């Protein structure tokens, strides 16, 4: 047996791993290896696999160190050889970074430590070796800061409190009377190191470790631990990343962006992550390291000249000041810029997707530290997919598979009403970090954003800058506003990933966390005040602003056409009104898969007629009341048929139990008695009579039509008459009459007979006919089990997976809120089965129902109309079992169309 390989090395254009080994090496590790293989300059290092993370969680730190010690020691020797220096040596030291990196990128969620290998002696050696003591001490203080936080756990004491290290930095800066970190001298930095170490000792009771190997093992363990920190855990849940995956650890020789004016660090995107525009862009800082650019501590500069000029306009910086204080990399270091430009082209062409890269310049030499497929907004996702297709970089199938269906949702979100926005007052301008329109009440803390939203409020999260700790608050806020940070700041990147409106770096804002105020030009805004953000322009407005529906771009249309070209299933919509029908049709719905009729009994004075029917003593009385409802229903159907002309419309007969139509409160009962001229007692008696212990399993669905056939008769008549009326006007209709809650084929037969007899009667009366189908909803497990018999007569099936899930699991949907979250937390269920179809269990009922139905009637039309019809993984399942269509709410139609096309493509591959 060959030994398990746990460590993969890379460096000097060679690597043991490659890009498609993400599962084992994590995204970062796999791409570091791949960049070596394609000749991009990357500092040498090695990756400890994600499998070791799993072992770590089972065996603990000590045992795992023993498992990997040999391989790690050898890998370090390899790094030393390539760097011509020695790890832990005080004359010629080799420093490393220790970086997390999961399969799926989780930016900033886990921990990274830089400059590892330093202590009081090594720092002197580094100073001597480089001839740059300031740099050596700057690196040392950064190391203590990161290690002290991540490994030793020295963190802010409360949410209002400052980071303890930043507090010390501010202290020293104040004492020395300097403003920027870069103005601190070597002696100041030395002072910082000493105060940092005292703080660590004081608060953790531990000495700062001086041995390089001890430091390394501590850091490796901390990175493994960070896989389970609360923010990583939350991010995983948000993005459906399995807990079992684990993170890899990358150990890599340091290159230094903090060596002076010919050094720097930056972040870049090969295309615009917000809009998708094919424009190289990014930010950098001179004499800086690691996360300085994204942390929002200094104002970053733009990489390209064009980007810099655009930024200056937004930031209201004059051209003179821009050139003096914020020149682009293109202007400042033209040669490096050229090389970076060529490298980003090379990487995009290699990966055939927009790349998000991290680089460092050490004394005029460029190094790449990371590349990955960049996070992007929904709009950018669509544009980039279509552009790459048109540029011939990818084929149609790949373009479609690049779309995350759920992200299309963002494109359908409201934008500001043009007129309202012209009346509004602009308070400040920041950077357009993530597009969209947001209106909400100001909150300053992430946990409070969650609380406020929990009580039904809508909020804008306002922060000096955001950190990964703020994720939950960002997720629930309508928008995010920060005073500091650029287009690549944490807030900006995360917001774009979430498709959330964000304005970053609005420098005019003075935010006081303790007082919970935001001050702009002397005007004070308190927690709870309303503001609005335009994430596409960077404008911040006072007050609430009205919104409207967005218009969709040409690329969106192209994408949808492409989806239709590759799909097999069609997508219908669940719609009960002409308005919804039109919206859905505009989004490409090919008919209605579920038109519920109950609301037709509720609105306005219809409820009175309905109640009359319910209270009637006998069939004659009921028929009289139903007479009143007939013309109203007919008119409703005409409206819907007209909106969906030439496309099928599935109408479900009345489903809910009758008690839902009578009032249960004393007050309303009295009002009803007055209206109907009867006594309250009569009403109360009826309500009592209708009372059920389990209404969901009670007198509803076809059971109503069986006990009161005249209801089904009236509805069938309304449908057929409406269709005939439209035919007269030259409008073609395709009604599909659907009988709900069938459990036995006898139920179906009884209802079908009523419908067909009624239709024949109407055809005779009118001397004209139309085509129509009669089918059923499959939502009771017994119906799925006996589908072959039901299909003897039913012309179509529509799986009502809401009820099928409810009855298959035996979970009351309305009560499941009490236990489902616990089930999901404990891992008993992966998802809420009312949102994501349970393919393992309920899916069997769907598959069996379809097969059995088609065994009797090979051309049986089959669809789904539960909530699952708009959920991508469930849509894929529907494709696999051979459904003809899925049906979902109007705004999810585009999502389902993409999911259906993706299912067809994956099926072929
Ligand atoms: P994240 O996963 O949060 O992006 P990274 O592991 O990429 O964290 O590290 C953050 C930053 O630290 C990188 O962007 C890079 O600038 C810097 N960094 C990491 N390793 C090195 C290294 N070996 N040399 C120089 N800078 C490094
Ligand atoms: Mg990174
Ligand atoms: Mg149902």
**108 Cβ inside 6 Å of ligand 1:** yes
Quickly state the pLDDT bin for 31 (edges 50, 70, 90): very high
Predicted TM-score (pTM) of this structure:
0.86
**Are 834 and 823 within 8 A, CB to CB?**
no
Quote the ligand 1 centre to 44 CA distance (angstroms).
13
HSE-up of residue 853 (Cα within 13 Å, Cβ side): 32
Structure-token pair, residue 138: 């700057």
What is the structure's pLDDT at 144?
Answer: 97
Q: What are the residues whose beta carbon lies below 5 Å from ligand 2 (ion)? A: 370
Q: What percent of the chain has pLDDT over 90?
A: 76
What is the structure's pLDDT at 463?
Answer: 95
pLDDT digit string (tens) for 114-149? 999 999 999 999 999 999 999 999 999 999 999 999
Summarize the confidence of residues 542-562 as an average pLDDT: 88
Specify the residue with its C-alpha closest to ligand 1, atom 12: 290
Quickly state the pLDDT bin for 293 (edges 50, 70, 90): confident
Q: How far apart, in whole angstroms, are the C-alpha atoms of residue 887 and residue 863?
A: 7
Query: What's the mean per-residue pLDDT of the chain?
Result: 93
**Cβ neighbours around 27 below 10 Å, total:** 21
Q: How far apart, in whole angstroms, are the C-alpha atoms of residue 621 and residue 625?
A: 6
Most informative mutation of 41, 114, 293 for ligand 1 (most atoms within 8 A of CB): 114
Quote the ligand 2 centre to 105 CA distance (angstroms).
9
Specify the residue with its C-alpha closest to ligand 1, atom 23: 254
What is the structure's pLDDT at 600?
Answer: 83
Quickly state the pLDDT bin for 602 (edges 50, 70, 90): confident
Most informative mutation of 291, 340, 371, 466 for ligand 1 (most atoms within 8 A of CB): 291
pLDDT digit string (tens) for 213-253? 999 999 999 999 999 988 888 888 888 888 889 999 999 99
Give the three-class secondary structure for 190: helix
Containing 209, the helix (H) or strand (E) segment is: none
Range with the lowest mean pLDDT among 486-495, 703-712, 897-906?
Answer: 486-495
**370 Cβ inside 6 Å of ligand 1:** yes
Specify the residue with its C-alpha closest to ligand 1, atom 27: 290
**290 Cβ inside 6 Å of ligand 1:** yes
CB neighbour burial string for 351-389, b if at least 16 within 10 angstroms, e if fewer: bebbbbbbbbbbeeebbbbbbbebbbbbbbbbbbbbbbb
Range with the lowest mean pLDDT among 339-348, 500-509, 600-609?
Answer: 600-609
pLDDT digit string (tens) for 732-741? 999 999 999 9
What is the structure's pLDDT at 825?
Answer: 85
Q: How far apart, in whole angstroms, are the C-alpha atoms of residue 654 and residue 133?
A: 82
**Cβ neighbours around 4 below 10 Å, total:** 11
Active site residues: 490, 865
Q: How far apart, in whole angstroms, are the C-alpha atoms of residue 540 and residue 532?
A: 6
Beta strand pairing call for 431-434 and 96-102 = unpaired
Report which bound ligand comes closest to the CA of 372.
Answer: 2
Range with the lowest mean pLDDT among 3-12, 234-243, 355-364, 723-732?
Answer: 234-243
Give the three-class secondary structure for 463: strand
CA-43 nearest atom, ligand 1: 23
Quickly state the pLDDT bin for 2 (edges 50, 70, 90): low
Q: How far apart, in whole angstroms, are the C-alpha atoms of residue 226 and residue 215?
A: 16
Q: Which residues contact 336 (CB under 8 A, 6 or more apart)?
A: 329, 361, 364, 366
**254 Cβ inside 6 Å of ligand 1:** yes
Tokens 């007479």 belong to residue: 627
Quote the ligand 3 centre to 904 CA distance (angstroms).
28
Which residues is 512 bridged to in the sheet?
A: 517
Report which bound ligand comes closest to the CA of 369.
Answer: 1
Among 149-153, 658-662, 797-801, top mean pLDDT goes to 797-801
Judged against a pLDDT cut of 70, whether residue 1 lies above it is answered with no
Q: How far apart, in whole angstroms, are the C-alpha atoms of residue 810 and residue 457?
A: 34
**369 Cβ inside 6 Å of ligand 1:** yes
Q: Which residues contact 384 (CB under 8 A, 6 or more apart)?
A: 271, 276, 353, 354, 376, 402
Most informative mutation of 370, 373, 471 for ligand 1 (most atoms within 8 A of CB): 370
Q: How far apart, in whole angstroms, are the C-alpha atoms of residue 684 and residue 662?
A: 10
CA 211 to chain centre: 43
- Side by side, the strands of the sheet bearing 479-482 are 426-429, 539-542, 530-534, 437-443, 459-463, 479-482, 501-504, 431-434
pLDDT digit string (tens) for 372-399? 999 998 999 999 999 999 999 999 999 9
Quickly state the pLDDT bin for 111 (edges 50, 70, 90): confident
Closest CA to 222 of 355, 61, 59: 61
pLDDT digit string (tens) for 502-541? 999 898 999 999 999 999 999 999 999 999 999 988 999 9
Q: Which residues contact 853 (CB under 8 A, 6 or more apart)?
A: 778, 787, 788, 790, 791, 794, 797, 860, 862
- Greatest extent of the chain over all pairs of C-alpha atoms, in Å: 105
Among 144-158, 471-485, 647-661, 709-723, top mean pLDDT goes to 709-723
Angle at 390 between CA 384 and CA 396, to 5 degrees: 85
Report which bound ligand comes closest to the CA of 42.
Answer: 1
Structure-token pair, residue 83: 């760097």
Give the three-class secondary structure for 682: helix
């Amino acid at each position: 047996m060959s030994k398990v390989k746990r460590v993969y090395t890379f460096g000097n254009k060679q690597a043991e791993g490659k890009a498609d080994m993400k599962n084992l090496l994590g995204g970062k590790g796999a791409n570091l290896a791949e960049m070596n293989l394609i000749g991009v300059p990357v500092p040498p290092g090695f990756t400890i696999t994600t499998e070791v993370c799993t072992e770590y969680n089972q065996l603990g730190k000590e045992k795992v160190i023993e498992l990997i010690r040999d391989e790690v020691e050898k890998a370090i020797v390899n790094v030393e050889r390539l760097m011509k220096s020695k790890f832990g040596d005080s004359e010629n030291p080799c420093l490393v970074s220790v970086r997390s990196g999961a399969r799926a990128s989780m930016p900033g969620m886990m921990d990274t430590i830089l400059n590892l290998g330093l202590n009081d002696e090594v720092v002197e050696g580094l100073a001597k070796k480089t001839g740059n003591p300031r740099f050596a001490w700057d690196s040392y203080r950064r190391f203590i800061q990161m290690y002290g936080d991540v490994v030793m756990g020295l963190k802010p004491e409360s949410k209002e409190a400052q980071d303890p290290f930043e507090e010390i930095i501010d202290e020293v800066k104040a004492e020395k009377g300097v403003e920027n970190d870069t103005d601190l001298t070597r002696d100041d930095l030395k002072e910082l190191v000493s105060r940092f170490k005292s703080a660590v000792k004081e608060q953790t009771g531990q000495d700062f470790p001086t041995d390089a190997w001890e430091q390394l093992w501590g850091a490796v363990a901390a990175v493994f631990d960070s896989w389970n920190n609360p923010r990583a855990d939350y991010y995983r849940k948000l993005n459906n990343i399995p807990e079992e995956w684990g993170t890899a650890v990358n150990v890599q020789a340091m290159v230094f962006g903090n060596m002076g004016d010919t050094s720097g660090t930056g972040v870049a995107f090969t295309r615009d992550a917000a809009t998708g525009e094919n424009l190289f862009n990014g930010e950098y800082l001179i004499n800086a390291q690691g996360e300085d650019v994204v942390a929002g501590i200094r104002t970053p500069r733009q990489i390209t000249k064009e980007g810099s000029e655009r930024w200056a306009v937004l930031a209201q910086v004059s051209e003179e000041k821009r050139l003096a204080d914020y020149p682009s990399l293109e202007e400042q270091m033209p040669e490096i810029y050229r090389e970076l430009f060529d490298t980003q082209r090379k990487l995009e062409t290699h990966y055939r997707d927009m790349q998000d890269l991290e680089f460092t310049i050490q004394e005029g030499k460029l190094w790449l530290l990371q590349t990955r497929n960049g996070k992007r907004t929904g709009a950018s996702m669509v544009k980039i997919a279509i552009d790459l297709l048109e540029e011939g970089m990818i084929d149609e199938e790949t373009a479609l598979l690049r779309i995350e269906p759920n992200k299309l949702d963002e494109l359908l979100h409201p934008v500001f009403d043009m007129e309202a926005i012209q009346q509004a007052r602009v308070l400040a301008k920041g950077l357009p970090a993530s597009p969209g329109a947001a209106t909400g009440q100001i909150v300053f803390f992430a946990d409070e954003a969650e609380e406020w939203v929990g009580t039904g409020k809508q909020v804008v999260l306002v922060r000096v800058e955001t950190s990964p700790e703020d994720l939950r608050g960002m997720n629930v806020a309508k928008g995010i506003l920060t005073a500091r940070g650029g287009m690549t700041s944490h807030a900006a990147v995360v917001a774009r990933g979430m498709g959330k409106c964000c304005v970053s770096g609005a420098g005019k804002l003075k935010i006081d966390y303790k007082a919970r105020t935001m001050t702009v030009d002397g005007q004070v805004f308190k927690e709870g005040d309303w503001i609005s953000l335009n994430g596409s322009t960077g404008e911040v407005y006072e007050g609430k602003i009205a919104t409207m529906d967005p218009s969709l771009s040409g690329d969106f249309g192209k994408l949808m056409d492409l989806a239709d070209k590759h799909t097999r299933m069609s997508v219908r919509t669940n719609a009960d009104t002409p308005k919804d029908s039109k919206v859905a049709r505009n989004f490409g719905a090919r008919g209605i898969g579920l038109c519920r009729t109950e609301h037709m009994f509720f609105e306005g004075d219809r409820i009175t007629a309905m109640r009359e029917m319910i209270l009637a003593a006998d069939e004659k009385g009921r028929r009289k009341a139903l007479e009143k409802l007939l013309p109203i229903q007919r008119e409703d159907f005409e409206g819907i048929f007209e909106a969906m002309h030439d496309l099928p419309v599935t109408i479900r007969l009345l489903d809910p139990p009758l008690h839902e139509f009578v009032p249960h409160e004393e007050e309303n009962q009295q009002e009803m008695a007055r209206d109907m001229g009867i006594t309250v007692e009569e009403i109360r008696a009826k309500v009592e009579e209708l009372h059920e212990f389990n209404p969901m399993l009670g007198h509803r669905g076809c059971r109503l039509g069986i006990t009161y056939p005249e209801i089904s008769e009236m509805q069938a008549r309304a449908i057929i008459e409406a269709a005939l009326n439209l035919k007269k006007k030259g409008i073609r209709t395709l009604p599909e009459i659907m009988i709900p809650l069938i459990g036995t084929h006898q139920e179906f037969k009884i209802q079908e007979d009523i419908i067909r007899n009624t239709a024949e009667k109407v055809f005779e009366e009118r001397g004209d006919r139309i085509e129509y189908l009669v089918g059923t909803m499959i939502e009771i497990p017994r119906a799925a089990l006996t589908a072959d018999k039901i299909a003897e007569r039913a012309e179509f099936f529509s799986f009502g997976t809401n009820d099928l899930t409810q009855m298959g699991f035996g979970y009351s949907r309305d009560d499941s809120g009490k236990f489902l979250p616990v089930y999901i937390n404990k891992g008993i269920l992966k998802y809420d089965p009312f949102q994501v179809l349970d393919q393992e269990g309920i899916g069997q009922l769907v598959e069996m129902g379809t097969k059995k139905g088609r065994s009797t009637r090979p051309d049986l039309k089959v669809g789904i109309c539960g909530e699952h019809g708009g959920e991508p993984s469930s849509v894929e399942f529907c494709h696999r079992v051979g459904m003809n269509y899925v049906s979902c709410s109007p705004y999810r139609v585009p999502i389902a169309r993409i999911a259906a096309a993706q299912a067809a493509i994956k099926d072929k591959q």
